[in-house]
Structure 1
Amino acid sequence: MPSTGSRAQTSVDNRRRPSTGRSFASAVLAFAVVMLGTTLPTPLYAIYSTELGFGVATTTVIFAIYAAGVIFALIVFGRWSDVVGRRPLLLAGALLSAASAVVFITAGPVWQLMVGRVLSGLSAGIYAGAATAAVIELAPPKWRGRAPAIATAANIGGLGLGPLIAGLLAQFAPAPLHLVFAINLAILVPVLVGIWFISEPVDVAAGARLSVQRLSVPTEVRGVFVRAAIAAFAGFAVMGTFTGVVPSFVSHVLGIDSHAVAGILVAVLFLSSALTQIAGRSQPTERSLVVGCAILVVGMVVVIAGLLAESLPILIAGAVVSGIGQGLSFSKGLAAVVAASPSNRRAEVTSTYFVVAYVAISVPIVGLGFASTQWGLRTSGVVFMVAVGVLALIALALTVLAVRSERRQERSGH
């Protein structure tokens, strides 16, 4: 994201110049580990709910608070790494991740879980911009063409590994609510050391002022933004559902009392998304957005079938298909928005796009949680997935219409 608020450029500290392979590796590791920490609690919610005596509605509120932390960090800290440098923000995000782990290790009442999730959300929101930029900027010359894909793999891959690791440890190791966070803290130690010694890729200006990230969408970008944002909203709502509610569904509806299964199911969605974003990075944007939305609709049908049939294999298939659709529609939607945005307003448009996505993780999921107390988890889940599928269909229709309109204009222009 472009730097703002600078009053003057000064000479760069020549002792800290990018890039070395060690700095690049440190940034990638930090990105993966911090994002991994944000999803560690996912398969543990069933244990917390049993021990602390709360239901699905409270679980979704705890989960949604994480998204609120992400949104706050995107808005407040989104531009700071452009002003003070990547390294201070990477350190701050990793320290917030460590603080979240400490809170979870010592967690007792529900409010403490909420504090831990807020800290985790703040760390993720900081890393969404600062770590992505650092990975790309610190990449050695031979890796620069693949750096955006590596940043994606570190981000979404870390999110996917979190529930997988936590689920397996909760199932097969002692102290399920403590061991995984202790391990997370131990891993964060070399991460912090690595960040401390990375080369600073930003030319820090003297007298630069920190500012809040403005959210807006220029008039000329709104058409592209609306259809891309609807697809992002649908895809992130699916991710929120799997992360916040599916573990409870596995336990309470399927009757499978396995934290490992719950973690694997969520991990499948995230890892499918990550692999799709990497594999599809060179595909045409508009066509890939159409395909991604279509696959997301199919994924909703499969997930609904799994919910109605109370079938774990069908839910796993739905996670794979939905992850592919989410990964393709989100990444290509972002690419379309970035390409359509004026260069001097790209940061605010991109931030707005991410805020829409994270609102989708929070508000609808809380509604699903409270609806489940009235209609039951399965019925509420089916209704919610139908709504998500409709959103994906709307994004698909808008994109197809836009592509056809552009082709007609091109033909008439010739």
Structure 2
Amino acid sequence: MALIHGIRENRGQFALQLLTVFAVGLTIGAERNVVPLLGRDVFGVESLAIIGSFVVSFGFVKALLNLYGGKWSETYGRRPILIAGWLVALPIPLILIYAPNWWWITLGNVLLGVNQGLAWSMSVNAKIDLAGANARGTAVGLDEAFGYTGVALGAWITGVIAAEYGLQPAPFYFLAGVIVLALLVAILFVEETLPYAQAEADASDAGEHLPFRAVLKRATWGDRTLFAAAQAGSVEKFVDALVWIAYPLYLTANGLSVAQVGVVVGVYGGVWGVLQLYTGKLADDIGRRIPVIAGMFVAGGGVLATAFVTGYWPWIVTAGVTGVGMALLYPTLITVVGDAAHPTWRATGLGVYRMWRDAGYAFGAILIGVTADAFGLQTAFVMVAGAMFLSGGVASFWMRETHPEFGTHASRSTGSPVTEE
């Protein structure tokens, strides 16, 4: 029986993959509001660089698992890697509940990095497999919308729970329930989608089977557009690291409650998540390059404004602006890589991009921690905004349009080289 690509044609499995990525978002969102406050208020950690260590461990581990998860999924399939990601997550709530010191929290985030690197990677790859080339941007937009809506709701829910019952252990009972339910869905209902990618490859005019090292080189520096995407993806994670580490500490130090911080962080993630329902399709309608560049500057502007306004409602507004920028650039960068990669190595190419992107969590956390300890939290906000503006400039100079209909970048469907010297 021939496999048919399309979101509507595969709506049952596509919906299950949306549920999966929503659960992935809830899992990371459950730590967005509570964990930095645990470091300061429960474990007595004063250095932002040390508090940021849990994001450093998360970022480097997730980056590595993104890289190899994509490679493994080409060999073993998407579903086994997805299940492995949820199995690894099972101990996380127990570690967060019973941690005797801050370094146990850092260890828990190593497991969170494995979970996110495997589970989210497989979910987005599965949606791209099912959707086909003509709906790739829409598929990625839906994936990121549901994922980051989950992040926003996870931050908000745990903020409400923490305000009512304390920072520990109540918020992590919610986390445990999410992980168990997601694992059961993956085992019982999710089907393998690798055959859809293989069918797309078979239908191409020419095959382009590349070894792992060749894909790593091409997706990192051998192709100017993919280099522009990789550096932009890495730098935009500075914003997310800032929200994760610094927002709870900065906003509570300036008078907001834990529940109010949960709303601010939730607005950032919610706007980011919901707007991707539109921006993913926007990239299919007008191309990839404009949303990426605009998003880098809008998100950077939102971060900069956050450092120079004061008050609950102004911070909600700047969080929303930052979320708009992230919604424009985030799914579109993934789509750029999906355009440029041949179906036979697309998952590996996306893994390379996601490796560099999520390493930005770690690089950003280190820079934010060092900057804040030396010059103050406000300076860390300015530093992140400046990095976004600089990276947006690089993208505007190097990135070519990759839309398969009117792009100037060589199409991945032709099998022709895409390296631009």
Residue 250 of structure 1 and its aligned partner are, at CA, apart by: 0.5
Decide whether aligned partners of structure 1 residues 302 and 397 sit closer, same or farther in structure 2, where only a CA change above 3 A counts.
Answer: same
Task: Give yes or no for contact 1:77–1:212 (8 Å, CA) kept in 2.
Answer: no
Task: Give yes or no for contact 1:293–1:396 (8 Å, CA) kept in 2.
Answer: yes
Structure 1 residue 244 corresponds to structure 2 residue 236: no
After superposition, give the CA deviation of every residue in 1:2-37 in whole Å (9 maximum; x if it has no partner): xxxxxxxxxxxxxxxxx9977655443333223311
Residue 71 of structure 1 and its aligned partner are, at CA, apart by: 1.3
The residue number in structure 2 matching 1:261 is: 260
Matches within 5 A, 1:311-330: 311-330=311-330
Residue 280 of structure 1 and its aligned partner are, at CA, apart by: 2.0
Decide whether aligned partners of structure 1 residues 224 and 313 sit closer, same or farther in structure 2, where only a CA change above 3 A counts.
Answer: same
Question: 1: CA distance between counterparts of 2:308 and 2:391?
Answer: 21
Residue 60 of structure 1 and its aligned partner are, at CA, apart by: 1.2
Question: 1: CA distance between counterparts of 2:399 and 2:232?
Answer: 10
Which has the larger displacement, 104-113 or 159-168? 159-168
After superposition, give the CA deviation of every residue in 1:87-144 in whole Å (9 maximum; x if it has no partner): 33222212222211111111121111011111011000001222223456679xxx99
After superposition, give the CA deviation of every residue in 1:53-90 in whole Å (9 maximum; x if it has no partner): 11222121111211122112112333333433433322
Decide whether aligned partners of structure 1 residues 26 and 228 sit closer, same or farther in structure 2, where only a CA change above 3 A counts.
Answer: closer
Decide whether aligned partners of structure 1 residues 151 and 381 sit closer, same or farther in structure 2, where only a CA change above 3 A counts.
Answer: closer
1:46 to 21, 25, 37: 37
Decide whether aligned partners of structure 1 residues 106 and 126 sit closer, same or farther in structure 2, where only a CA change above 3 A counts.
Answer: same
The residue number in structure 1 matching 2:270 is: 271
- Percent of residue pairs identical: 21
The residue number in structure 2 matching 1:283 is: 282
After superposition, give the CA deviation of every residue in 1:298-322 in whole Å (9 maximum; x if it has no partner): 3423432331233443332222222
Decide whether aligned partners of structure 1 residues 372 and 113 sit closer, same or farther in structure 2, where only a CA change above 3 A counts.
Answer: same
TM value normalised by structure 2: 0.78
Structure 1 residue 177 corresponds to structure 2 residue 168: yes
Question: 1: CA distance between counterparts of 2:130 and 2:342?
Answer: 25
Residue 400 of structure 1 and its aligned partner are, at CA, apart by: 8.1
Task: Give yes or no for contact 1:100–1:120 (8 Å, CA) kept in 2.
Answer: yes
Structure with the greater alpha carbon radius of gyration: 1
Task: Please tell me the residue identity of whatever aligns with 2:25.
Answer: M
Question: What SS is found at the alignment partner of 1:41?
Answer: helix
After superposition, give the CA deviation of every residue in 1:315-334 in whole Å (9 maximum; x if it has no partner): 32222222222222232222
Question: 2: CA distance between counterparts of 1:200 and 1:330?
Answer: 26
Question: 1: CA distance between counterparts of 2:192 and 2:402?
Answer: 39
Task: Give yes or no for contact 1:30–1:94 (8 Å, CA) kept in 2.
Answer: no
Decide whether aligned partners of structure 1 residues 194 and 226 sit closer, same or farther in structure 2, where only a CA change above 3 A counts.
Answer: closer
Question: 1: CA distance between counterparts of 2:13 and 2:181?
Answer: 13
Question: What SS is found at the alignment partner of 2:280?
Answer: coil
Task: Give yes or no for contact 1:231–1:391 (8 Å, CA) kept in 2.
Answer: yes
The residue number in structure 1 matching 2:64 is: 72
Task: Please tell me the residue identity of whatever aligns with 2:225.
Answer: V
Question: 2: CA distance between counterparts of 1:35 and 1:287?
Answer: 27
The residue number in structure 1 matching 2:208 is: none
Task: Please tell me the residue identity of whatever aligns with 2:82.
Answer: L
The residue number in structure 2 matching 1:208 is: none
- In structure 1, runs of 5+ residues without a counterpart are 1-18, 205-210, 408-414
Task: Please tell me the residue identity of whatever aligns with 1:30.
Answer: T
Task: Please tell me the residue identity of whatever aligns with 2:255.
Answer: G
Matches within 5 A, 1:9-408: 25-44=15-34, 45-55=36-46, 56-135=48-127, 148-171=140-163, 173-198=164-189, 200-202=191-193, 215-217=216-218, 222-252=223-253, 254-256=254-256, 258-284=257-283, 287-399=287-399
Task: Give yes or no for contact 2:142–2:280 (8 Å, CA) kept in 1.
Answer: no
After superposition, give the CA deviation of every residue in 1:186-213 in whole Å (9 maximum; x if it has no partner): 2333333322222532579xxxxxx988
Decide whether aligned partners of structure 1 residues 338 and 21 sit closer, same or farther in structure 2, where only a CA change above 3 A counts.
Answer: closer
After superposition, give the CA deviation of every residue in 1:271-322 in whole Å (9 maximum; x if it has no partner): 2222232202233467553244234323423432331233443332222222
Question: What SS is found at the alignment partner of 1:278?
Answer: helix
Which has the larger displacement, 51-60 or 314-323? 314-323
Decide whether aligned partners of structure 1 residues 136 and 342 sit closer, same or farther in structure 2, where only a CA change above 3 A counts.
Answer: closer
After superposition, give the CA deviation of every residue in 1:152-207 in whole Å (9 maximum; x if it has no partner): 33322222222111112111x21432112112212333333322222532579xxx
Task: Give yes or no for contact 1:221–1:340 (8 Å, CA) kept in 2.
Answer: no
Residue 215 of structure 1 and its aligned partner are, at CA, apart by: 2.4
Decide whether aligned partners of structure 1 residues 28 and 365 sit closer, same or farther in structure 2, where only a CA change above 3 A counts.
Answer: same
Task: Give yes or no for contact 1:32–1:158 (8 Å, CA) kept in 2.
Answer: yes
Question: 1: CA distance between counterparts of 2:138 and 2:217?
Answer: 30
TM value normalised by structure 1: 0.80
Question: 1: CA distance between counterparts of 2:373 and 2:219?
Answer: 41
Decide whether aligned partners of structure 1 residues 297 and 133 sit closer, same or farther in structure 2, where only a CA change above 3 A counts.
Answer: closer
The residue number in structure 2 matching 1:16 is: none
Question: What SS is found at the alignment partner of 1:384?
Answer: helix
Task: Please tell me the residue identity of whatever aligns with 1:341.
Answer: A
Residue 242 of structure 1 and its aligned partner are, at CA, apart by: 1.0
Q: Note the aligned Cα RMSD (angstroms).
A: 3.4
Question: 2: CA distance between counterparts of 1:62 and 1:196?
Answer: 29
Task: Please tell me the residue identity of whatever aligns with 1:293.
Answer: I
Aligned length: 377
Decide whether aligned partners of structure 1 residues 387 and 187 sit closer, same or farther in structure 2, where only a CA change above 3 A counts.
Answer: closer
Question: 1: CA distance between counterparts of 2:345 and 2:129?
Answer: 20
Task: Please tell me the residue identity of whatever aligns with 2:165.
Answer: P
The residue number in structure 2 matching 1:9 is: none
Which has the larger displacement, 112-121 or 233-242? 233-242
